[in-house]
């Protein structure tokens, strides 16, 4: 744990497990005089190689993310600095040229399927959370999200889930549960767990 005053929380879990919703609930309970920043792994996707079929590309593999930039940004935020956040387009599957200045922050919530995956990042975290949601519910949520927000068809979502999402979850994401300080079954609906985490943060 760092000696700086910035409090860094990692929130991991499978695809569509409710990580973003948990972040929103935690944000509500953090003292209003504290500057809060939610950092999403989605911003750190590498651009998909040209000519690759998105239906077969594994977006749920650790190699799909730019760990160097992520680590650099988290280190700077932990040190109380302003950073420039990369932006990613889920329609073209490319990183945008535009970056957005964010921070500094007193509380940083790192949200993503691999929030607890990298040992160096785990060392930066003051609290490690894993949102544990049943696979069938996660699949339903992912179908709804990808159709409504990312212009996908139900067939493409299902094929991708079977081909890459579930195997990657089982191999890379689920094992990180053992690093969590707190496991939250049922996501934001688990109000007892949310309240306990809020009390600890306060």
Give start and end residues of each alpha helix (H) in 42-189: 67-78, 119-124, 135-150, 154-160, 166-168
**Residues 86 and 44 sit within 8 Å (Cβ to Cβ):** yes
All structural domains of the chain with their residue ranges = 7-201
Determine what percent of the chain is predicted with pLDDT higher than 90.
Answer: 56
In this structure, are strands 36-40 and 107-111 parallel, antiparallel, or unpaired?
parallel
Q: For 73-88, what is the mean pLDDT?
A: 96
- Shortest CA distance to 59 belongs to which of 177, 168, 179? 168
pLDDT value at 187 more than 80: no
107-154 confidence digits (pLDDT tens): 999 999 999 999 999 999 999 999 998 877 788 888 888 788 777 788
As a whole number of angstroms, the distance between CA 94 and CA 89 comes to: 6
Counting every residue, how long is the chain? 202
SS3 state of residue 163? helix
85-99 confidence digits (pLDDT tens): 999 998 888 999 999
pLDDT value at 2 more than 60: no
| CATH H-level superfamily of 7-201 | P-loop containing nucleotide triphosphate hydrolases (3.40.50.300)
pTM over 0.85: yes
CA count, 13 A, side-chain hemisphere, 129: 30
Backbone region of residue 80 per phi and psi (left: phi > 0; alpha: psi in -120 to 50; beta: other values):
left
As a whole number of angstroms, the distance between CA 26 and CA 20 comes to: 10
Q: Is the peptide bond before 104 cis (omega within 30 degrees of 0)?
A: yes
């Amino acid at each position: 744990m760092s000696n700086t005053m910035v409090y860094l929380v990692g929130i991991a879990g499978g695809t569509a497990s409710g990580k973003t919703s948990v972040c929103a609930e935690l944000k509500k309970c953090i003292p209003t005089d504290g500057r809060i920043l939610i950092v999403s792994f989605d911003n750190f996707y590498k651009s998909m190689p040209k000519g690759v079929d998105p239906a077969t590309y594994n977006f749920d593999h650790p190699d799909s993310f730019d760990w160097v930039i992520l680590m650099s940004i988290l280190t700077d935020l932990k040190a109380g600095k302003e950073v420039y956040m990369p932006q990613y387009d889920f329609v073209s599957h490319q990183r945008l040229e535009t970056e957005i200045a964010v921070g500094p922050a007193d509380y940083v919530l790192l949200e993503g399927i691999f929030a607890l995956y990298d040992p160096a990042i785990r060392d930066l975290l003051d609290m490690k959370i894993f949102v544990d949601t049943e696979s069938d519910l996660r699949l339903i949520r992912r179908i709804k999200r990808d159709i409504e927000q990312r212009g996908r068809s139900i067939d493409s979502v299902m094929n991708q889930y079977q081909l890459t999402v579930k195997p990657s979850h089982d191999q890379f994401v689920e094992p990180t549960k053992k690093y969590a300080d707190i496991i939250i079954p049922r996501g934001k609906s688990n109000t007892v767990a949310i309240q306990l985490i809020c009390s600890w943060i306060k």
